[in-house]
Amino acid sequence: MEELTRRKFLLNGAKAIALTLMGGLVWSAYLSEAKANVFVLRPPAALDEEEFLKHCIKCGLCVEACPFGTLKLATQGEAIITGTPYFTPREVPCKMCVDIPCVPICPTEALDINLVSNEKGLLDINKAKMGVAIVDREHCVAYWGVQCDACYRACPLMGEAIILELKRNERTGKHSFLLPVVMSEVCTGCGMCENACITKKAAIRVMPRHLALGEVGENYIKGWEKGDEKRLENLKTRDLSLDKNKQIQDYLNGEEF
């Protein structure tokens, strides 16, 4: 009888451990899934989505610190993990506060101050990468030939994060387009442009960078850009170590066409 009780006890203990482990696995699978799929814009200086979810304790201090009511905490029923902070630019964009009060207050570094600090260690909101604005060229009326520069004028980095490109209107033959074009390396994802867009549903929208942008990898190099030389050097070293006779082909700048 005593042996039976002992075995029952051990069995229950093993079950409890298995359930705990399964719970852990399910939760980490859930976090990975959430990272990959969720369309959510986080506060400035947020870590990558997966890391952010591991660090954020849902205290809401960043939301409280935001003087413009930009940030809110997800509630149950939303497609965002409950209790985590996010913003919706069409409703209230990030106003790019110079003192970025939402970031240093974060107790867990889910919002990492280093991501919005310059080389001198000073806060610099222009370094924020909350997302990237994408123009829907089909529904942006500037691409129809209508004069509109609302997004361009709303951008706190006007002329840098968003520029106007002059192009001849081939359809009329006598007019020009002034087309908004976003520079993804400069765009902070603040959403002022989306908020200002005049179309019924915004024709310029901020999207999470990992969902909106592609990645070239190391197979293609911009031979005409100095910034890409570093990547070229790395590629040369790696390729030569694999195959000493292999030459890198520069298709765009080579002599032959």
Contact positions toward ligand SF4, by CB under 6 A? 43-44, 56-62, 65-66, 68, 70-71, 85, 94-97, 100-102, 106, 108, 110-111, 125, 133, 154-155, 157, 161-162, 182, 187-193, 206
Q: Which is nearer to ligand SF4, 99 or 218 (CB)?
A: 99
Min separation Cβ 122 and ligand SF4, Å: 15
Min separation Cβ 221 and ligand SF4, Å: 27
Handedness of CA 165, 206, 61, 115 (dihedral sign): negative
Q: Which is nearer to ligand SF4, 140 or 193 (CB)?
A: 193
Helix (H) or strand (E) holding 169: strand 162-169
Q: Which is nearer to ligand SF4, 209 or 236 (CB)?
A: 209
Q: Which is nearer to ligand SF4, 197 or 221 (CB)?
A: 197
User: Tokens representing 236?
Assistant: 């040369």
Q: Which is nearer to ligand SF4, 14 or 57 (CB)?
A: 57
Min separation Cβ 42 and ligand SF4, Å: 8
Match 């042996």 to its residue by tokens: 3
Closest by CA position to 199, among listed 139, 144, 133, 138: 139
How many angstroms separate the CA atoms of 149 and 177, rounded? Answer: 11
How many angstroms separate the CA atoms of 46 and 116, rounded? Answer: 10
Min separation Cβ 167 and ligand SF4, Å: 19
How many angstroms separate the CA atoms of 84 and 80, rounded? Answer: 8
How many angstroms separate the CA atoms of 87 and 72, rounded? Answer: 6
Between the two ends of the chain, the Cα-to-Cα distance in Å is 88
Task: Specify the amino acid at residue 122.
Answer: L
Min separation Cβ 85 and ligand SF4, Å: 5
Q: Which is nearer to ligand SF4, 96 or 221 (CB)?
A: 96
Min separation Cβ 226 and ligand SF4, Å: 24
